Amino acid sequence: AQKITQTQPGMFVQEKEAVTLDCTYDTSDQSYGLFWYKQPSSGEMIFLIYQGSYDEQNATEGRYSLNFQKARKSANLVISASQLGDSAMYFCAMRVVGGFKTIFGAGTRLFVKA
């Protein structure tokens, strides 16, 4: 069975600094996708970044990058130059190709300090 683990329930970061949110996953499938979503206090879910299991390059989207280490089964989100608006809950998720289910981690709440 697939599983996503986010070991950091909460994290603090100083504004303008970089922060890494950890995500490890477990699957025996070879073809899958990894996603990160942001949930601000207003409650909506916002897609941030995607990494395919066969992608050789780490995904990047503006200030977000995904540090993908396939052998370690980790897919950490790196946010560079944190902003106050980055304070939110962040969820790591995985979908196995052909499986159609999406598995989410428990989330990490990030607090950005001024």
Q: Which residues bind another protein (CB under 8 A)?
A: 4, 6, 33, 35, 37, 43-45, 47, 50, 52, 91, 93, 95, 97-98, 100-107
H or E segment to which residue 51 belongs? strand 46-52
Tokens representing residue 77 in the block: 């989100």
Taking the least distance from each CB to another protein, the nearer of 7 and 14 is 7
Inter-residue contact 75 to 25 (CB < 8 Å) = yes
Smallest distance from the beta carbon of 16 to another protein, in angstroms? 28
Minimum distance from CB of 11 to another protein (Å)?
Answer: 16
45 with 39: CB under 8 angstroms? yes
